[in-house]
Amino acid sequence: MAFTDKNAEPYSGQDLVRYIDKALKVSPPKSKVRNFSYKIIKRMFQPQLLDVQNIPSQPCLFVANHAMYAVDGPIIGLPMLAEQGRFIRALSDKFLWNPVNESLLLNQGVVIGHPEVCSALMDNGSDLIVFPGGAHEATKSADKKYQLLWKERYGFIRLAAKHGYTIVPTAIVGPEDFYDHLIEGGDIPDTLIGRALTLLGLINENTRSDLMGPIPLGLFRTLIPKPQKCYIQFGEPLDLSEYKGKQLTQEAMIPLRQQVADDINGMIALLLKARDKDRARSGRIRRLLTK
């Protein structure tokens, strides 16, 4: 299984071709459940889309920071669809995928972050969002909240340049405060839970260490997220149309990636200050629930 084996690939060969064809046929969801979910998110988390004028009219690649366990996906995806009419396809980690949940994930706009899948969607003119930190960033410890943990990943720059796509740096503040950390992921193997998972074979030498996330505590010490207000800010677009059809060297990609990261970090810093000011002005009950 991809969840336990870091070398596993859920799609290849003709199965990958089938998957891409299926992904291209997905249309924006219009179900009552989707609308209800948006209303709940709007009511509970009050997501604000800031500087939407920076979003180009043409399809683009949104590049964002990632929150614990990817809870930021619907926080940006649902408001963007409802308020901006943009159906953003979220690139996800391979460990999520199996035959049972394939259709469910695809119909929600999620796709596997495979280069061939991304290329096909870009050729099709789809809006995409990528969190370069992936699962590693989504399972980080509390002391690394709102930090970009991108390792040496340049794939999103390479693909955007090859297809002449515009990158929109995107900062998301709020979802990382939905949960406290009861136990950090790195400490789990030495706990009773970790030893039980090892005995069951769910943790072994092939297990991906970046999937060992913290045990979360939300509202009233449950798994319900705290009703934190959320902010999504869009930075100045980075137009890569001049590179279309080209394969960029590592040397050429380094400053481009750094520019995107610097833009996101700058926006995060300002949004955290705005959040603190808003929190001080919020009602007593909300302050208590988000403490």
DSSP 229-270: --EEEE---EE-GGGTT----HHHHHHHHHHHHHHHHHHHHH
pLDDT at 132: 96
pLDDT at 242: 96
Tell me the pLDDT of the chain (291 aa) as tens digits: 444 455 678 999 999 999 999 999 999 988 888 899 999 999 999 999 999 999 999 999 999 999 999 999 999 999 999 999 999 999 999 888 988 999 999 999 999 999 999 999 999 999 999 999 998 899 999 999 999 999 999 999 999 999 999 999 999 999 999 999 999 988 888 888 778 877 877 676 666 666 778 999 999 999 999 999 999 999 999 999 999 999 999 999 999 999 999 999 999 999 999 999 988 888 888 888 888
pLDDT at 205: 67
CATH numbers and ranges of domains, the chain: 13-178+228-289 (3.40.1130.10)
The dihedral built from the CA positions of residue 90, 96, 98 and 102, taken in this order, carries a sign that is negative
- Cβ-count burial 66-85 (b if 16+ within 10 Å, e if not): bbbbbbbbbbbbbbbbbeee
**Three-state SS for 56?**
coil
- Strand duo 110-112 + 127-130: pairing: unpaired
| pTM score of the predicted model | 0.92
CA distance 244 to 248: 10
> Both tokens of residue 177?
């405060």
